[in-house]
Amino acid sequence: MEFSEKELEDLIFKGLEQDFERLSDQGFPVPVNPTFYRQVKLGDYGIVDILGIGRDEKTDKLEIYLYELKRDSIGAAQIPQVTKYMGGILNWLGDKYTIDEDYFIYGILMAPIFESFLSWFIDPRITFYSVGFDAFEGLVFTKHSYSAYTDHECNTVKIKIPEIANEVSSEGITEGITEGITEGEDAKKE
Residues 56 and 115 in one domain: yes
Give the model's pLDDT for residue 101: 83
Tally of domains within the chain:
2
In a domain, 153, yes or no: no
Q: What is the pLDDT of residues 37-68, one digit of tens each?
A: 999 999 999 999 999 999 988 888 999 999 99
Residues 6+ apart with CB under 8 A from 49: 5, 9, 38, 39, 67, 68, 69
Q: What's the farthest any 2 CA atoms get from each other in the chain? A: 64
Residues 27 and 117 in one domain: yes
Residues 173 and 134 in one domain: no
In a domain, 177, yes or no: yes
**Domain extent for 46:** 5-144
Q: What is the pLDDT of residues 84-139, one digit of tens each?
A: 999 999 998 888 888 778 889 999 999 988 876 655 567 778 888 889 888 888 88
In a domain, 152, yes or no: no
CA distance 87 to 104: 12
CA distance 69 to 126: 13
In a domain, 91, yes or no: yes
Residues 84 and 112 in one domain: yes
CA distance 126 to 95: 23
